[in-house]
Amino acid sequence: MQMAGGVLPVLATPFDRHSEIDRTQLERLVDWQYEQGADGVTIAMVSEILRLSVSERESLAAAVVAASADRGSVVVSVGHESTHLATRLAKSAETTGATAIMAIPPISVPLADDQLLGYFSAIADSTVLPLIVQDASGYVGTPMSISLQARLLEDFGAEKILFKPEAVPLGPRLTALMDATGQRAQAFEGSGGSALIDTYPRGVVGTMPGSDLTWAVKALWYALENKQVARADEIHSALLPLVSLSPGLDTYIAVEKYLLHKQNVLETQYVREPASYRIDEATRIVADRMFDQLNHVVRGGKK
C-alpha cells in the first residue's frame, strides 16, 4: 500500500491486568479508528513502545497490520538505542506488511549530526519502506538540526524520507525545514492536532494525534482541507484545552487511555510500570467537561 497523508492516529497499547498486550482490545481500538474516519494508524511513542521488548514490538506491529486489513496506512516506529535493533525492527515491519516506518533518534546519549546521519541512513537502507524521521524532542531527547534532516532528504529523496517535526517552536522550524528542502519535505503534525491551525498552512501532509480524539481531529482536518476557516477555528478552540491537559508523554498516555475507556473503546486503562503519572479525580472532572465541550462543537453532543 502506498504511503498516504491525512489523519493517522497513534494507537494506545491496551494491556490486561497482567501487563500483557490485550489483542482483543487492540483489534477493537483499530476498528474504532477507521469508524471515526482515520486514514490509517500508527505505532509510536504514545503506544508505550519504550516499555516493550523487541519481540513485543514486532508482535504488536503484526497484530495492527492484520487488524487494519488494508483499510489505511500502517506506520510502525522502529527507533531504538541500537542501530542493529532499529534495522531489525525496520526489516520486520516490512515483512509484516507495514506501509511505512518511523524512527526517533537514540535518546540515552547525545549524538553528533554525523552519527545521527549514519543511524538514520542505516535504517533507510535496511528496507524499501518510506522512513518518517521523528524529532521527538517535544517529549524526549534534543532537537535535531534542520541541516541534518535536509541532508537525509537530499541523500534518499522525498518519497523515501518524510518527517514528523516536534521541536519547538514548531511552526517556524517546519517552515525552515520546508525552505531547506526546496518545499519537498513531507511532514506530519505530531501535537495531538493542536498545532494544525499553524502547521497546515505551512504544508503538513497529515497529522498523527492520539487515538482518543480521532473524530475531532478528522473533523478539523476536513475543515482545513475544505478551507472552512471559521469551522476549523471553532474545532481547534475546543480541542486545544483538552490536548493541553497532557504536557508530557506519561500524562498523554494516561489521559488518552482514560478518554478511550470513557468512550467504551477500551475496557482497561492499564499502563506499563514504572509510570510517572496517574490521572486523578480533579483531572478527570476537567477532562470530562472539556470532552463534552469538544463533543458538542464537533458532533452536537452526539456520540
Say which CATH number the domain at 164 has.
Answer: 3.20.20.70
Report DSSP state, residue 161: E
* SS3 category, 41: strand
**Is 122 a member of any domain?**
yes
Q: Is residue 281 part of a domain?
A: no
Whether 235 is covered by a domain: the verdict is no
* Three-state SS at 76: strand
Q: pLDDT exceeding 90 applies to what percent of the chain?
A: 92
Is residue 57 domain-resident? yes
pLDDT at 301: 67
In a domain, 291, yes or no: no
Whether 161 is covered by a domain: the verdict is: yes
Q: Is residue 289 part of a domain?
A: no
Is the pTM higher than 0.85?
yes
Helix intervals (H) in the chain: 23-35, 54-68, 83-96, 113-125, 146-156, 170-180, 196-199, 214-225, 229-243, 249-262, 281-299
Q: What are the tens digits of pLDDT across the range 215-250?
A: 999 999 999 999 999 999 999 999 999 999 988 899
Q: Which of 62-76, 134-148, 222-236 has the lowest mean pLDDT?
A: 134-148
β-pair partners for 189: 207
pLDDT at res. 274: 93
Range of the domain at 67: 6-226
User: How many domains is the chain built from?
Assistant: 1
Q: Sorting pLDDT into bands at 50, 70 and 90, what band is 199?
A: very high
